Chains A and B, each alone.
Chain A
Amino acid sequence: MNTESPIRKFTGASKYVLDEELAQIVNISMALEMPLLLKGEPGTGKTMLAHAIAEALNMKLIVLNVKSSMKLVDALYQYDTLTRLNDSRFGDSTRDVSRIEDYIRMGKIGQAFVSDERVVLLIDEIDKADTDFQDDMLDVLDQMEFDIIEIDKTVKAKYRPVIIITSNAKKDLSDPFLGRCNFHHIAFPEPKMMRKIIEAHFPDISKDLLEHTIRAFYRMREFRGIEKKPATRELINWIRALKADPDFRIKDLIKGEIPYLGVLFKKSPDYTIARNAVSRMRI
Chain B
Amino acid sequence: MFTDFFYLLRQVGIPVSPTSFLRLQKALSMGLITSLDDFYTAARAILVKSERYFDLYDQVFAHHFEGAELKEPDAFELDEVARAMLDQWLKNPREMAEALGIDEEELNKLSPDELLQYFLDRLKEQTEEHHGGSKWIGTGGTSPVGHSGFHPGGMRVGGVSMNKSAVKVALDRRYRDYSQEGPLTQAQIGEALKRLRHMVPVGPKDVVNIDETIYQTMKNAGEIEIVFERSLKDRLKVILAIDNGGWSMEPYVEVVQTLFNHARAQFKELRTFFFHNTIYDYLWEDPPRIRKPFKVAELARLDPDTRFIIVGDASMAPYELMATDGSIHVEERSGKPSYERLQFIAETFPHSAWLNPRMKEEWPYTRTISIIQEIFPMFELTIDGLEQAVTHLMQKN
Whether the Cβ atoms of A39 and B51 lie closer than 8 Å is: yes
Whether the Cβ atoms of B20 and A184 lie closer than 8 Å is: no
CB-contact partner of A82 in B45, B50, B208, under 8 A: B208
Q: Which residues of A contact B45 (CB under 8 A)?
A: 25, 28-29, 36, 182-184
B30 at the interface (CB under 8 A from A): yes
Whether the Cβ atoms of B42 and A28 lie closer than 8 Å is: yes
Sort A-B residue pairs by CB-CB distance and give the 9 closest, nearest first.
A185-B51, A178-B49, A25-B45, A182-B45, A24-B41, A183-B49, A21-B41, A28-B42, A31-B32
Whether the Cβ atoms of B49 and A28 lie closer than 8 Å is: no
Instruction: Give the total number of A-B pairs whose CB atoms are below 8 A apart.
Output: 70
- The distance in angstroms between the C-alpha atoms of A184 and B48, with both chains bound, is 9
With both beta carbons as reference points, the residue of chain A lying nearest to B264 in the complex is identified as: A171
Expressed in whole angstroms, the minimum distance between the Cβ of B269 and any Cβ of chain A is: 10
A81 at the interface (CB under 8 A from B): yes
With both beta carbons as reference points, the residue of chain A lying nearest to B210 in the complex is identified as: A81
A27 at the interface (CB under 8 A from B): yes
A181 at the interface (CB under 8 A from B): yes
Whether the Cβ atoms of B17 and A179 lie closer than 8 Å is: yes
10 inter-chain pairs at a CB distance below 8 angstroms, sorted by A residue, are A28-B32, A28-B41, A29-B45, A32-B32, A69-B233, A175-B15, A179-B20, A179-B49, A185-B51, A227-B292
Chain B interface extent, by class:
20 to 34
Whether the Cβ atoms of A179 and B19 lie closer than 8 Å is: yes
A257 at the interface (CB under 8 A from B): no
Q: Which residues of A contact B292 (CB under 8 A)?
A: 225, 227
A130 at the interface (CB under 8 A from B): yes
- The distance in angstroms between the C-alpha atoms of A227 and B286, with both chains bound, is 11
Give chain A interface residues in 217-273, CB to chain B under 8 Å.
224-225, 227
B323 at the interface (CB under 8 A from A): no
Chain A 152-174, CB-CB to B under 8 Å as 1, else 0, gives 00000000000000000001000
Q: A24-B42, A69-B233, A178-B50 are in contact. List 18 more A-B contacts (CB 8 A).
A: A21-B41, A25-B41, A28-B42, A28-B46, A29-B45, A31-B27, A32-B23, A32-B27, A85-B213, A86-B224, A131-B265, A182-B46, A183-B49, A183-B50, A184-B45, A225-B291, A225-B292, A227-B292
Expressed in whole angstroms, the minimum distance between the Cβ of B291 and any Cβ of chain A is: 6
A89 at the interface (CB under 8 A from B): yes
- The distance in angstroms between the C-alpha atoms of A182 and B20, with both chains bound, is 9
**Given the known A-B contacts A28-B27, A39-B51, are A130 and B224 also in contact in the complex, defined by CB atoms under 8 Å?**
no
Give chain A interface residues in 1-49, CB to chain B under 8 Å.
21, 24-25, 27-29, 31-32, 34, 36-37, 39
With both beta carbons as reference points, the residue of chain A lying nearest to B286 in the complex is identified as: A225
With both beta carbons as reference points, the residue of chain A lying nearest to B33 in the complex is identified as: A28
Whether the Cβ atoms of B51 and A130 lie closer than 8 Å is: no
Q: Which residues of A contact B232 (CB under 8 A)?
A: 69
With both beta carbons as reference points, the residue of chain B lying nearest to A86 in the complex is identified as: B224
Q: Which residues of A contact B17 (CB under 8 A)?
A: 179
Residue numbers of A with Cβ under 8 A of B are 21, 24-25, 27-29, 31-32, 34, 36-37, 39, 68-69, 81-82, 85-86, 89, 130-131, 171, 175, 178-179, 181-185, 224-225, 227
Q: Which residues of A contact B23 (CB under 8 A)?
A: 32, 34
Q: Which residues of A contact B226 (CB under 8 A)?
A: 82
B177 at the interface (CB under 8 A from A): no
- The distance in angstroms between the C-alpha atoms of A175 and B49, with both chains bound, is 9
Expressed in whole angstroms, the minimum distance between the Cβ of B276 and any Cβ of chain A is: 20
- The distance in angstroms between the C-alpha atoms of A182 and B41, with both chains bound, is 11
- The distance in angstroms between the C-alpha atoms of A89 and B226, with both chains bound, is 13
Expressed in whole angstroms, the minimum distance between the Cβ of B376 and any Cβ of chain A is: 27
**Given the known A-B contacts A131-B265, A171-B265, A179-B20, are A25 and B49 also in contact in the complex, defined by CB atoms under 8 Å?**
no
- The distance in angstroms between the C-alpha atoms of A35 and B23, with both chains bound, is 13
- The distance in angstroms between the C-alpha atoms of A224 and B26, with both chains bound, is 46
With both beta carbons as reference points, the residue of chain B lying nearest to A29 in the complex is identified as: B45
Count chain A CB atoms within 10 A of each CB in B15, B46, B226, B264 and give the residue with the most. Answer: B46
With both beta carbons as reference points, the residue of chain B lying nearest to A27 in the complex is identified as: B32
B5 at the interface (CB under 8 A from A): no
- The distance in angstroms between the C-alpha atoms of A130 and B292, with both chains bound, is 29
- The distance in angstroms between the C-alpha atoms of A27 and B34, with both chains bound, is 13
Q: Which residues of B contact A130 (CB under 8 A)?
A: 265
With both beta carbons as reference points, the residue of chain B lying nearest to A22 in the complex is identified as: B41
Give chain B interface residues in 308-354, CB to chain A under 8 Å.
none
